[in-house]
Chain A
């Protein structure tokens, strides 16, 4: 835990430590936010109102691709932080760009999945099940999209200013956010898709 010989750059200074702690508290609030959406989904799950059920709708292959894209992006985001702590600006930015591309791939897959569902007649207004589904998945997708915009801006800033305690802290906080979205997706994958396909 405290075996590092040097404190990483992003933890230097009171302000940076407080920002990182504050962001963890924000993530705690995000856990509660997503739990309310999960709760609504589970309660409405069986109210399909004559519309399609999850078993009829969900496509394992597409969902697996989305899962692997997001898992891999979480990994490359971790590598970016690793390189940042080695003081390697170029590799940090390269891994962040890879992360962004994987994130974009995820959002693209998710949007085409949604379009496909709507063509099948499964819209957010069709049933309680689909309202819960699109609200939960849409909120997660919106978070990923916001994350893509956020990381894009941070890449530009790091290109201009290099790795400083301030930019390191910003990128580190964004990486926490990105990993967190992967955690939420794991639960969506398991308790929405896999459960729905059984």
Chain B
């Protein structure tokens, strides 16, 4: 992944059109298909993660600089914590463990 500073910012333009396309695709999935709710959620959830990755790698240049590896580890760890917090909360509070 070479990032020449000069010239046309292809990375950004491609990232931008991808994110617009993914957003429209997600809306179409919700409005115009009759898949089950969980199937649609799985697909648009995947699209959201893809879009986040586009932002991180194509716009924020997460791997750039001397601490690129540290950045990846740090963000991966934060995302892990976020998943534990969100999934854990839903799990605990919807399966009846808290109903005592």
Contacts and interface: CB of A to CB of B under 8 A. Distances in A.
- What bracket does the count of chain A residues touching chain B fall in? 35 or more
A38 B86 contact: yes
Interface of B: 1-3, 5-6, 9, 11-13, 15-16, 19-20, 23, 26-27, 30-31, 37, 40-41, 44-45, 47-48, 51-52, 55-56, 58-60, 62-68, 70-71, 74-75, 77-79, 81-83, 85-86, 88-90, 93-94
Contact of A4 (B3, B44, B55, B75): B3
A24 B27 contact: no
Contact of A1 (B30, B52, B63, B77): B63
A194 B26 contact: yes
28 contacts: A3-B1, A3-B3, A4-B3, A24-B67, A24-B71, A24-B74, A28-B77, A31-B81, A32-B78, A32-B85, A35-B85, A38-B82, A38-B86, A39-B90, A71-B16, A75-B13, A78-B11, A78-B15, A79-B9, A86-B5, A179-B59, A179-B60, A180-B60, A183-B51, A186-B23, A190-B47, A197-B30, A198-B41
A194 B13 CA distance: 26
For the complex of A and B, list the 8 residue pairs with the smallest distance between their C-beta atoms, beginning with the closest.
A35-B82, A28-B78, A39-B89, A85-B5, A75-B16, A190-B48, A31-B78, A78-B12
A32 B82 CA distance: 5
Interface string A1-21: 101101010010000010011
Given A176-B60, A186-B51, A190-B26, A82 B41 contact: no
Nearest to A195: B41
A21 B30 CA distance: 38
Contacts of A86: 5-6
A198 B37 contact: yes
B26 A21 contact: no
B55 A179 contact: yes
Interface in A153-191: 175-176, 179-180, 182-183, 186-187, 189-191
A134 interface: no
Given A24-B74, A71-B19, A82-B5, A194 B81 contact: no
Given A71-B19, A86-B5, A25 B64 contact: no
B97 to A, nearest CB: 12
Interface in A27-41: 27-29, 31-32, 34-36, 38-40
Given A75-B12, A190-B48, 14 more contacts: A1-B63, A1-B68, A21-B67, A28-B77, A31-B81, A39-B86, A43-B90, A67-B23, A71-B16, A71-B23, A78-B12, A187-B52, A191-B45, A191-B48
